[in-house]
């Protein structure tokens, strides 16, 4: 069902975003490949390549966003894992059939015109889990 | 410096380990490829393949282990990310030179005879970060 880990998402407070970009780029030596405001998820997102995988820094656009609430509760750090699939509609149907509670019954548009959907943490051992199908 | 995300580590309470194994294997459809008691890290570890990446479930061997303390403070969920390198000694030297505080100045033996080392979360935006060099 999944080809690889697409990315890990790391929650970052807006005031720390430039420092975290510098850490991933200049200290870890990862290539910054994309930066985008993803209104549907309420975040400023910055993507780095690690081989075929990515690190996605996500910083909230406002205090009512999910990531802002995550930061208020947990502080900065790992926020979610995203698994890559070539057929997100089929993967969601399979997971639902297997009893997973879906946050997104239908995929929505994510970063770089990918199609994405989140699974509910109550079904995943509290690991916020995203499926992503890259744009073709 | 890094070839890929080697794995994400997911902290699991001992009483939930079998459920989490079943979720990753039977719901997400990942192949369970390895299971090992890693005394040096105080965990029972279970590895699943996701393409060339892995999910590593880690469950504490006792209440004084780092993972038991993590679970007591944070509950279950994502615990660390591991980046894969072909030369962990060189990577650690580079990161130290760039100002990163290392938990492990020298690599130690990890799962499947890999060599592993952890970076201090204060240097990494609170993301517990592991380097791993697979056994040759």
Nearest to A53 among B4, B125, B127 (CB): B4
Q: Return the pLDDT at B23.
A: 98
Q: A20 touching B, CB under 8 A?
A: yes
Task: Among A5, A12, A126, select the one facing B5 at the smallest CB separation.
Answer: A5
ipTM reported for the complex, 2 dp:
0.96
Average pLDDT over residues B47-73: 97
DSSP H helices in chain B: 17-22, 66-74, 88-97
In this prediction, residue B44 has a pLDDT band, given cuts at 50, 70 and 90, of very high
Question: Residues 110 to 129 of A: which have CB under 8 A from any B CB?
Answer: 121, 123-128
> What local confidence, expressed as pLDDT, does residue B41 receive?
87
Measured between alpha carbons, how far is B117 from B108 in angstroms, rounded to an integer? 6
Torsion of CA A60, A65, A67, A72, to 10 degrees: 100
Kind of pairing, strands B77-84 and B4-11?
Answer: antiparallel
CA distance linking residue A11 with residue B29, whole number of Å: 27
DSSP track, A26-62? IIS-PEEEEEEEEGGGTEEEEEEEETTEEEEEEEESS
Q: Say what the pLDDT of residue B40 is.
A: 82
The Cα B49–Cα A83 span in angstroms is 12
More confident residue, A56 or B136: A56
Tell whether the model's pLDDT for residue B136 goes beyond 90.
no
pLDDT in tens, B67-77: 999 999 999 99
Choosing among 3.10.180.10, 3.40.50.261, 3.20.20.70, 3.60.150.10, the CATH entry for A4-133 is: 3.10.180.10
Q: Structure tokens of A36?
A: 């985008």
Average pLDDT, chain B: 97
Mean pLDDT of B115-122: 96
Out of B3, B23, B125, whose CB is closest to A20?
B125
**Beta-carbon contacts of residue B136 (< 8 Å; ≥ 6 apart):** none
Q: Using a CB–CB cutoff of 8 Å, tell me whether B97 touches chain A.
A: no
Res B72: pLDDT: 97
List average pLDDT for each run of 10 residues in chain A, which is 136 residues long. 98 98 98 94 96 98 96 96 98 98 96 96 95 95
Take residue A87 and report the two structure tokens written for it.
């057929």
B115, pLDDT greater than 90: yes
């Amino acid at each position: 069902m999944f080809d690889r880990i697409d990315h890990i998402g790391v929650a970052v407070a807006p005031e720390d975003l430039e420092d975290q970009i510098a850490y991933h780029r200049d200290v870890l030596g990862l290539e910054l490949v994309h930066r985008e405001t993803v209104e549907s998820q309420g975040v400023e997102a910055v993507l780095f390549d690690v081989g075929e995988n990515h690190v996605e820094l996500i910083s909230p656009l406002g205090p009512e966003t999910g990531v802002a609430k995550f930061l208020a509760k947990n502080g900065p750090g790992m926020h979610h894992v995203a698994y890559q699939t070539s057929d997100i509609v089929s993967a969601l149907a399979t997971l639902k059939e297997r009893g997973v509670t879906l946050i997104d019954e239908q995929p929505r548009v994510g970063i770089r015109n990918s199609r994405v959907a989140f699974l509910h943490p109550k079904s995943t051992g509290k690991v916020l889990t995203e499926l992503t199908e890259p744009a073709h």
